[in-house]
Chains A and B, each alone.
Chain A
Amino acid sequence: ILNVEQSPQSLHVQEGDSTNFTCSFPSSNFYALHWYRWETAKSPEALFVMTLNGDEKKKGRISATLNTKEGYSYLYIKGSQPEDSATYLCASRNTGGFKTIFGAGTRLFVKA
């Protein structure tokens, strides 16, 4: 069974700060790593899906990197804005099955 860990559990930053969170996952039988943004009272929305070691993806001020050999991914937010306040989930899928396991998320609060 996959064990996906995210840190920190929550994070409070000021508007304009840049921040990053970590997702760690089992590196054996790795298939894909997903990042989602989950706003309160809404559904999770996909940000990135990464599959290759060294992958880097970017969408606006948000970017992510992937290290499949050591089993971690970083999500970066540059110049945080209040509208970035949300829970950021990562999820890992292995090649041994068809399960995608989610971490508990990092709850980001951006204060204006």
Chain B
Amino acid sequence: DSGVTQTPKHLITATGQRVTLRCSPRSGDLSVYWYQQSLDQGLQFLIHYYNGEERAKGNILERFSAQQFPDLHSELNLSSLELGDSALYFCASSVAGGNYGYTFGSGTRLTVV
């Protein structure tokens, strides 16, 4: 157990639907990062939050949004889902600056049918 908890582990939903992925960072970590891994693709950076504030955005679609709550857990909301959104979504956390690397959760496997 890495200390980063992601739920659910698996999610199957239909096109056009909306889902919420949840991440609880490792205790003491203030930064949360979201990454997407599609088939045959590497880890694509989506968004970074630090202590409740958005710090950086990557190639995150407008249909996607995220937030980090006062208890530091984060949610990634995916709406108007398309088949191409099927992917493994990872959350990672770190202490400020990430100088000790990121700790990854086990990921949420999203399948859009």
Which residues of A does B touch, CB under 8 Å? 32, 34, 36, 42-49, 51, 89, 91, 93, 97-105
Contact = CB atoms under 8 A, between A and B. Distances in A.
A101 B102 CA distance: 12
Contacts of A34: 98, 101-102
Interface stretch (B50-58, B62-70, B76-84): B50-58
Which of B2, B41, B55, B98 has most A Cβ within 10 Å? B98
B59 to A, nearest CB: 9
Most buried by A among B4, B44, B99, B107: B99
A46 B95 CA distance: 13
Contacts of A32: 98-99
10 closest residue pairs by CB, A with B: A46-B101, A43-B104, A98-B56, A104-B42, A98-B55, A102-B43, A99-B56, A97-B56, A49-B101, A44-B104
Interface core residue of B33, B90, B99, B101 (most chain A CB under 10 Å): B101
22 contacts: A34-B98, A34-B101, A36-B102, A43-B2, A43-B90, A43-B106, A43-B107, A44-B104, A45-B2, A45-B104, A46-B101, A46-B102, A48-B101, A49-B98, A51-B99, A98-B55, A99-B58, A100-B33, A100-B45, A100-B48, A102-B35, A102-B45
A105 B40 CA distance: 11
Contacts of B41: 104
Interface extent on B, as a size class? 20 to 34
A99 B59 CA distance: 11
B45 A36 contact: no
B105 to A, nearest CB: 6
A72 to B, nearest CB: 18
Contacts of A105: 42
A99 B41 CA distance: 18
Contacts of B106: 42-43
Interface in B1-25: 2, 4
Given A43-B107, A100-B45, A102-B42, A36 B56 contact: no
